[in-house]
Chain A
Amino acid sequence: MATAPPKARTAAPAAPAPRKEGALRRFWPQYVAITPFFLLFAVFLLGPILFSLYLSFQKWDGLGDMEFVGLRNYAYLVEDGKFWLALRNTVLIWIFSTVPTLFLALVVANLLHSAVRFSSFYRIAYFVPSVTSIVAIAIFFGSVFSTQAGLANAILGALGAAPVPWLVDEWTIKFVIATVICWQWVGYNALIYLAGLQAIPAELYEAARIDGAGPVQTFFRITIPQLRPIILFTVVISTITGMQTFTEPQVIFSSNVANAANSGGPGNAGLTAVLYFYNQAFTNSDYGYGAAIAWAVFLVILVFTVINWRLVSRRDRAGAR
């Protein structure tokens, strides 16, 4: 390396410049280059996060004086039925969306892996949903599942079935939100899996074939174990993003009704944890309670991520045997 530490050249013990100062003189351009990021990081992320911890012990509407309330926000949170409902909705929507998304992605990835022709066309077509605006997609699916005359009910009608109140019933609401998420992320995850599949050495499959393994055995004994780190990656990402689901229910169920502007639909069935946070913080201007909800959601995400991580990597060890 051209950048040996200065102490290697300290032949003259008479005037050893303090190490920090020398480094600053020598590396000032590098420090200048990284300053913009760390400045923004300190001002707009780290500082705010610490401040939000402080806020969660206050009662504040953003205008008047703050009032220290100790743990009262958190105590209220534990008793707040709506918060628990929102958490339950979030977890259910996360399960309804993540499980089919990752399963279908695995299927699509294996199909793409066998398809030699038109591969770049397929890749682009399957990638497009993930770069499309969630607002546009949510509006689109909101209209397809509209109870009065959406496409879904029109198809059901053509088949002679009764219309389903998609955006009214507690379970179909979650189904619709999960469908939006699923549509957007199957292709993206499939392409990640595909990159993983292409990295599996062909000799492994060759050896399995010689040992007389069928396609199903090969899939479970070679493909899945080899993909496991990538599956772990997608599970973790899906957990983190899924627990923060916000835009889909916010757009689908936003309304002009003043006291239900962001309620998450009939019976709050589409009220997710982050949507509830948004409601308390920015619709009700209850900053202290909003901050407490944000921290609670963060802890839940952390716990879920750790659980999923351990689940998938434990199976990893079992699979290695």
Chain B
Amino acid sequence: MRPGRGGRVGLHVTLLVGVAISLFPFYWTAVMATNTTQDIFRVPPKLVPGPELFENIGRLLSSIDFFGSMLNTVIVATSVTALVLFFDSIAAFAFAKFEFPGRNTLFALLMLAFMLPSQLALIPQFVIMVELGWVGTLNALIVPAAANAFGIFWMRQYIAGAVPDDLLAAARIDGCGFFRQYASIVLPVIRPGLAFLGITTFISTWNDYTWPLIVLVDPNNLTLQVALSQLKTAHDTDYSMIMAGTLLAVLPLALVFTLFARGFVRDAMAGALRG
């Protein structure tokens, strides 16, 4: 049933109200970040962006090592993404296309990793990091995240569908071993899948909070999310400065997301449904 003309207008108006609610926090963050705290707290408050952004950023930079935290976050998110893409896709290739003994048992074990709640492991993980001397370092964030069950599960489905068996068989006849098949046949074919897994991993690593909060104990060596939350705790009343930090912390990710958004949203839903 197609709605009539009036119905269509009403439909789009309703949907646009939803869009406005979804996007309002970004607008309002920008308003707060570009005005003084007094402007925000005035009654009635200022509703449009003001000229104070650089002033607020200046106070932000003298309160915390913002760019240091951002650099840490970039290092962690980039390393984790690169490692996950490699380790997950090559493991997924093994699971998708080869019937090695123990495959099903191992895959069931991998599914178990999905279901185990992470906070059960947090205390011993912290103890391990103490033993390794990694508390307060980025190693503690990168190494445990270098491969994950979700990525292998998702890539396995993707490779099973995207990589033709006869191509692999032909390569095998030509004497290509497992790694050569991965490099010359699988990798070129699964680029769209890698793009999706890469963006998901990058975004979730960028936004990760609980584990960094626990393990990054050195206030001079934090990721953005932890720095932001500590900024909020320490300067509870300087809203315009906190919002300037929030704005700067959210912007890079918003950029990455809008660049890749179209295909990404479709793939994300397909992935969610399959999972």
Q: Is the CB of B120 within 8 A of A37?
A: no
Report whether A124 and B261 are in contact in the complex, using a CB–CB cutoff of 8 Å: yes
Partner of B90, one of A33, A246, A294: A33
Bound Cα distance from A2 to B100, whole angstroms: 11
Q: Which residue of A lies closest to B257 (CB)?
A: A131
Question: If A111-B14, A143-B243 touch, does A127 touch B3 (CB 8 Å cutoff)?
Answer: no
**Chain A contacts for B110, CB-based, 8 A:** 37, 41
**Are A240 and B117 closer than 8 Å at their CB atoms?**
yes
User: Does the CB pair B101–A33 fall under 8 Å?
Assistant: no
Q: How far is the CA of A45 from the CA of B99 in the complex (A)?
A: 26
- For the complex, give the distance between the alpha carbons of A157 and B118 in Å: 44
Judged by DSSP, the binding face of A is: helix
**Which A residue's beta carbon lies closest to that of B91?**
A34
> In the complex the two chains form, is B121's CB within 8 Å of A254's CB?
no
Within 8 A of A (CB), among B235-252: 236, 239, 242-243, 246, 249-250
Shortest distance from the beta carbon of A254 to any chain B beta carbon, whole Å: 5
Are B100 and A55 touching (Cβ within 8 A)?
A: no
Interface size class of B (residues with CB under 8 A): 35 or more
Check B147–A251 contact: CB distance below 8 A. no
CA distance A49 to B228 in the complex (A): 30
A280 to chain B, nearest CB (A): 10
User: Is B123 within 8 A of A52, CB to CB?
Assistant: yes
Residues of B within 8 A of A205 (CB): 1
Which of A94-102, A134-142, A312-320 is found at the contact surface with chain B?
A134-142
Q: How far is the CA of A40 from the CA of B83 in the complex (A)?
A: 12
Q: Nearest chain-A residue to B203 (Cβ)?
A: A131
Contact with B along A148-177 (1 / 0, CB 8 A): 110100100110000000000000000000
A-B contact pairs, 6 of them (CB 8 A): A49-B124, A124-B265, A136-B246, A191-B268, A277-B119, A294-B123
Which of A's residues lie within 8 Å of B, judged by CB?
1-3, 5, 19-20, 23, 26-27, 29-31, 33-34, 36-38, 40-41, 43-49, 51-52, 55, 62, 108, 111-112, 114-115, 117-118, 120, 122-129, 131-137, 139-144, 146, 148-149, 151, 154, 157-158, 183, 187, 191-192, 194-196, 205, 209, 215, 230, 233, 240, 244, 246-247, 250-251, 254-256, 274, 277-278, 281-282, 287, 290-291, 294-295, 297-298, 301
